[in-house]
Amino acid sequence: MTKPTRVSNRIADLRARAGEMSQRELATRIGVTRQTVNAIELEKYSPSLEVAFKIARVFDVGLEDVFHYPSGAAAALPPAGGVS
Amino acid sequence: MSFQEKSTLAMTGILLAVFGCYFALVLGEVSRSPLRDVTYKGLMVPVVVALVVLTAVAHAVIAATAPADADANDERDRSIGLRGGRIAGYVLAVGCVCGLTLAMVEADTFWIAQVLLGGLVLAELTEGVSKLVLYRRSA
């Protein structure tokens, strides 16, 4: 997906805590471009589950310590398969 | 701006310039010439050469200015590429239908060829512009 997402994240904060890790370094470690890390940080792009796990592993934290989804948001979604 | 975004921008600009010149020539003087069928086929060679040379030069410059990012391609690039291609598919289909319609009414081969080529070029331009918009929206 390349549209603004409701998934928020703490990547910038986690990078700062990890010795001011640069976006480029994180991008290299998870196998994406720096621009993609920037888009994820700015919440304009939702990464795949695989990339999300890779990001969490880099910071040695759980997935939900990096990414958040607003509570109650799932109830507002259409049924599975309702949207292509 | 990622390598793929720069590449898309360059390719869109090159397509616009090369085929802008081609259609300006062909739909202008050439279309009124009795030798138009020979002329437009002859123009295809310099058009293809120009596309290949300009594409190679543009990508060499892009890679030279950011060697670390050369040919980098990730899941976001692929997602944007797929969405751009899907949008371009509609334009290509319209071009094909227009060409088919001209063939069914037994229009001149020259015009059928121009409509089909125009559809192909418009589809490529649509894909490029769509991808650039998608890149900016998720920059």
Nearest to A61 by CA among A17, A19, A22, A28: A17
Q: How confident is the model at residue B68 (pLDDT cuts 50, 70, 90)?
A: confident
Interface of A with B in 22-81 (CB under 8 A): 31-36, 38-39, 42, 44-45, 47-48, 51
* Domain extents in chain A: 1-59
Q: pLDDT of A45-79, one tens digit each?
A: 999 999 999 999 999 999 999 999 887 755 555 55
Q: Give the per-residue pLDDT at B127.
A: 97
What does the pLDDT read at residue A36?
Answer: 93
Which of residues 19 through 48 in chain B touch A, CB cutoff 8 A?
none
**Closest-CA residue of chain B to A27:** B74
**CA distance linking residue B67 with residue B16, whole number of Å:** 27
> What is the rounded average pLDDT of the residues B4-14?
95
> pLDDT grade, residue B35 (50/70/90)?
confident
Percent share of chain B, pLDDT over 90: 72
Interface probe with B: pick from A26, A36, A41, A50, most Cβ of B within 10 Å: A36
List, as one string, the DSSP characters of A66-83: HEE--TTTGGGSPPTTS-
Does 1.20.120 match the CATH number of domain A1-59? no
Confidence of residue B55 (pLDDT cuts 50, 70, 90): very high
Distance from CA of A52 to the nearest CA of B (A): 12
Which region among A30-34, B35-39, B49-53 has the lowest average model confidence (pLDDT)?
Answer: B35-39
Query: B5 versus A84: which is more confidently predicted?
Result: B5
Residue-level pLDDT at A4: 61
Cα three-residue angle B31-B35-B24, rounded to 5 degrees: 30
Instruction: Kindly report, residue by residue over A4-16, the tens digit of the pLDDT.
Output: 678 889 999 999 9
Distance CA A64, CA A43 (A): 15
CA B86/CA B78 separation, integer angstroms: 12
pLDDT of residue A2: 44
Q: Which residue has the higher pLDDT, B73 or B128?
A: B128
